[in-house]
């Protein structure tokens, strides 16, 4: 793998640290110390300016660090999702790099899948109403068992044993 830049390493470290209880405690402690020093400095403009300036600078810099961390996480998740789409038999490869399309194009895909979901729910309700069987939730589907009590696997779910092998 490529060496990460100094900014990426620092951003990751600072982002990780600022989300810890220790960092929260330090920030809360700084506020308490600042508040307790108010009478010493007679609540002067300089005393207030120190806190306002420090808070503004930290907030300004944290926006960029948080955005950097969010971008890295989003990019990693997107690559993982693209790999799942690519590797799943029957998946539509046209969905790869969907995030690169214009918002209107993405909305067309979303509407298509919303329509498919609506039709599937309608068909399920029609079938359920005809045969009188109860509605099955996702928990029942994922935890189904055969007569011996062993978990049943959905045939559409691909496991390592039925993954296509490389030539």
Residue 23: in which H helix or E strand, if any?
helix 21-36
Q: How confident is residue 165, by pLDDT bands cut at 50, 70 and 90?
A: very low
Tell me the pTM.
Answer: 0.55
Of 76, 75, 73, 69, the C-alpha closest to 7 is 69
Say if CB 34 and CB 51 are below 8 A apart: yes
Residue identified by tokens 């971008």 is: 71
11 by Cβ neighbours in 10 Å (0-12 / 13-18 / 19+) ranks as: buried
List the domain boundaries for the chain: 6-95, 101-132
The whole-angstrom separation of Cα 57 and Cα 28 is: 17
Most confident of 1-5, 99-103, 163-167: 99-103
Query: What is the per-residue pLDDT across 55-103, written as a single tens digit (0 to 9) for each?
Result: 999 999 999 998 998 999 999 999 999 999 889 988 888 888 888 889 9
Say if CB 144 and CB 152 are below 8 A apart: yes
Q: Please state, rounded to an integer, the average pLDDT across all residues of the chain.
A: 80
């Amino acid at each position: 793998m490529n060496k990460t830049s100094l900014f990426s390493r620092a951003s990751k470290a600072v982002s990780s640290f600022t989300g810890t209880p220790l960092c929260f405690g330090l920030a809360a402690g700084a506020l308490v110390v600042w508040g307790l020093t108010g009478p010493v400095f007679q609540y002067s403009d300089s005393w207030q300016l120190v806190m306002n300036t420090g808070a503004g600078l930290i907030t300004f810099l944290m926006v960029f660090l948080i955005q950097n961390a969010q971008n890295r996480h989003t990019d990693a998740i997107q690559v993982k999702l693209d790999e799942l789409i690519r590797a799943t038999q029957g998946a539509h490869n046209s969905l790869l790099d969907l995030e690169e399309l214009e918002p209107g194009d993405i909305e067309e895909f979303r509407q298509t899948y919303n329509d498919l979901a609506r039709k599937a729910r309608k068909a399920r309700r029609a079938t359920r109403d005809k045969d009188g069987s109860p509605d099955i939730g996702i928990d029942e589907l994922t935890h189904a068992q055969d007569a011996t009590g062993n978990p049943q696997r959905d045939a559409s779910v691909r496991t390592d044993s039925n993954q296509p092998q490389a030539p």
